[in-house]
Protein backbone atom coordinates (compact mmCIF):
# COMPACT_ATOMS: atom_id res chain seq x y z
CA UNK A 1 0.00 0.00 0.00
CA UNK A 2 1.13 3.52 -0.74
CA UNK A 3 0.13 6.77 0.84
CA UNK A 4 -0.34 7.96 4.40
CA UNK A 5 -1.19 4.53 5.83
CA UNK A 6 1.49 2.43 4.22
CA UNK A 7 3.10 -0.38 6.20
CA UNK A 8 6.53 0.71 7.49
CA UNK A 9 8.96 -1.17 9.69
CA UNK A 10 8.14 0.85 12.85
CA UNK A 11 4.41 0.43 12.21
CA UNK A 12 4.81 -3.31 11.75
CA UNK A 13 7.21 -3.78 14.65
CA UNK A 14 5.34 -2.02 17.42
CA UNK A 15 6.97 0.81 19.34
CA UNK A 16 9.53 2.90 17.53
CA UNK A 17 11.63 3.59 20.65
CA UNK A 18 12.36 0.31 22.31
CA UNK A 19 14.01 0.34 25.74
CA UNK A 20 16.34 -2.59 26.38
CA UNK A 21 15.61 -4.52 29.56
CA UNK A 22 19.07 -3.94 31.02
CA UNK A 23 21.50 -1.04 31.05
CA UNK A 24 24.68 -1.19 29.03
CA UNK A 25 28.12 -0.80 30.61
CA UNK A 26 28.65 2.76 29.33
CA UNK A 27 25.20 3.76 30.63
CA UNK A 28 26.14 2.46 34.07
CA UNK A 29 29.46 4.33 33.95
CA UNK A 30 27.68 7.58 33.06
CA UNK A 31 25.19 6.99 35.89
CA UNK A 32 28.06 6.55 38.37
CA UNK A 33 29.67 9.75 37.05
CA UNK A 34 26.38 11.61 37.52
CA UNK A 35 26.08 10.37 41.10
CA UNK A 36 29.66 11.43 41.84
CA UNK A 37 29.15 14.87 40.30
CA UNK A 38 26.06 15.45 42.48
CA UNK A 39 28.14 14.42 45.52
CA UNK A 40 30.83 16.93 44.52
CA UNK A 41 28.27 19.72 44.13
CA UNK A 42 26.82 19.00 47.58
CA UNK A 43 30.25 18.99 49.23
CA UNK A 44 31.18 22.25 47.48
CA UNK A 45 27.91 23.84 48.56
CA UNK A 46 28.45 22.67 52.13
CA UNK A 47 32.00 24.06 52.16
CA UNK A 48 30.89 27.38 50.64
CA UNK A 49 28.15 27.88 53.21
CA UNK A 50 30.57 27.04 56.03
CA UNK A 51 33.16 29.52 54.75
CA UNK A 52 30.54 32.24 54.37
CA UNK A 53 29.20 31.61 57.87
CA UNK A 54 32.66 31.80 59.46
CA UNK A 55 33.91 34.67 57.26
CA UNK A 56 36.85 32.66 55.98
CA UNK A 57 38.77 32.91 52.72
CA UNK A 58 38.53 30.22 50.06
CA UNK A 59 42.23 29.38 50.48
CA UNK A 60 41.62 28.53 54.14
CA UNK A 61 38.65 26.37 53.18
CA UNK A 62 40.73 23.99 51.09
CA UNK A 63 42.50 22.86 54.27
CA UNK A 64 39.28 22.06 56.16
CA UNK A 65 38.07 18.54 56.67
CA UNK A 66 34.59 18.35 55.12
CA UNK A 67 33.45 15.62 57.49
CA UNK A 68 33.71 17.90 60.52
CA UNK A 69 31.59 20.65 58.96
CA UNK A 70 27.94 20.60 60.03
CA UNK A 71 25.68 22.83 57.95
CA UNK A 72 23.07 24.96 59.68
CA UNK A 73 20.60 24.63 56.82
CA UNK A 74 18.21 21.84 57.76
CA UNK A 75 17.79 20.47 54.23
CA UNK A 76 21.58 20.18 53.84
CA UNK A 77 21.84 18.39 57.17
CA UNK A 78 19.29 15.85 55.98
CA UNK A 79 21.23 15.34 52.74
CA UNK A 80 24.32 14.65 54.86
CA UNK A 81 22.76 11.55 56.40
CA UNK A 82 23.52 8.35 54.52
CA UNK A 83 20.05 6.89 55.07
CA UNK A 84 18.40 9.82 53.27
CA UNK A 85 20.92 10.63 50.54
CA UNK A 86 23.80 8.13 50.38
CA UNK A 87 26.95 8.96 48.47
CA UNK A 88 27.87 6.94 45.39
CA UNK A 89 30.43 4.64 47.11
CA UNK A 90 27.94 3.90 49.92
CA UNK A 91 25.24 2.69 47.50
CA UNK A 92 24.85 -0.91 46.41
CA UNK A 93 24.74 -1.75 42.72
CA UNK A 94 21.05 -2.55 43.06
CA UNK A 95 20.33 0.97 44.31
CA UNK A 96 22.50 2.64 41.68
CA UNK A 97 20.87 1.02 38.67
CA UNK A 98 17.30 0.21 39.74
CA UNK A 99 14.42 1.86 41.58
CA UNK A 100 11.49 0.60 43.62
CA UNK A 101 8.35 -0.10 41.60
CA UNK A 102 5.33 -1.66 43.26
CA UNK A 103 4.00 -3.00 39.95
CA UNK A 104 7.11 -4.97 38.96
CA UNK A 105 7.54 -8.62 39.84
CA UNK A 106 10.55 -8.18 42.13
CA UNK A 107 9.46 -4.65 43.17
CA UNK A 108 12.35 -3.20 41.16
CA UNK A 109 12.74 -1.78 37.68
CA UNK A 110 15.78 -0.48 35.84
CA UNK A 111 16.49 3.18 36.45
CA UNK A 112 16.78 3.70 32.69
CA UNK A 113 13.03 3.04 32.40
CA UNK A 114 12.17 6.02 34.62
CA UNK A 115 11.21 9.10 32.56
CA UNK A 116 14.02 11.69 32.53
CA UNK A 117 16.23 9.42 34.65
CA UNK A 118 19.39 11.33 33.69
CA UNK A 119 17.99 14.51 35.24
CA UNK A 120 16.87 12.96 38.54
CA UNK A 121 18.93 11.93 41.53
CA UNK A 122 17.04 8.87 42.72
CA UNK A 123 18.92 7.43 45.67
CA UNK A 124 16.39 6.55 48.33
CA UNK A 125 14.33 3.38 48.17
CA UNK A 126 12.03 1.75 50.74
CA UNK A 127 13.75 -0.50 53.26
CA UNK A 128 14.17 -4.18 52.44
CA UNK A 129 13.51 -3.62 48.73
Q: Mean of the pLDDT values across residues 7-29? A: 80
Does residue 93 fall inside a structural domain?
yes
Contact (Cβ atoms closer than 8 angstroms) between residue 123 and residue 39: no
Handedness of CA 50, 52, 53, 59 (dihedral sign): positive
The mean predicted confidence, pLDDT, of the chain is 82
Q: Tell me what pLDDT residue 3 has.
A: 66
Predicted structure pTM score: 0.75
Does residue 47 fall inside a structural domain?
yes
Nearest to 43, CA basis, from 2, 9, 76, 3: 76
Domain that holds residue 45: 25-113
Q: Mean of the pLDDT values across residues 26-31? A: 96
Does residue 20 fall inside a structural domain?
no
Tally of CB atoms within 10 A around 35: 20
Does residue 29 fall inside a structural domain?
yes
> Whole-angstrom Cα distance, residue 94 to residue 97?
6
Q: State the pairing for strand pair 108-110/98-100.
A: antiparallel
pLDDT digits (tens, 9 = 90+) for 63-94: 666 556 666 677 777 777 777 889 999 999 99
Q: Tell me what pLDDT residue 42 has.
A: 86
Length of the chain: 129
Does residue 63 fall inside a structural domain?
yes
Q: Could you give the percent of the chain with pLDDT greater than 70?
A: 79
Does residue 13 fall inside a structural domain?
no
Tally of CB atoms within 10 A around 122: 14
Domains of the chain: total:
1
Does residue 97 fall inside a structural domain?
yes
Whether the pLDDT of residue 58 is over 80: the answer is no
Contacts of residue 37, Cβ cutoff 8 Å, sequence gap at least 6: none
Q: Which of the given ranges, 7-11, 19-23, 31-35, 47-51, has the highest pLDDT on average?
A: 31-35
Band (44; pLDDT cuts 50, 70, 90): confident
Does residue 16 fall inside a structural domain?
no
Higher pLDDT, 9 or 114: 114
Amino acid sequence: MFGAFRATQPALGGLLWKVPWRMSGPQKARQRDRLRSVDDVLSTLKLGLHLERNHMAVSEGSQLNLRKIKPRVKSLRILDKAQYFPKEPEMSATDKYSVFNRYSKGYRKGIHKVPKWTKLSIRRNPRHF
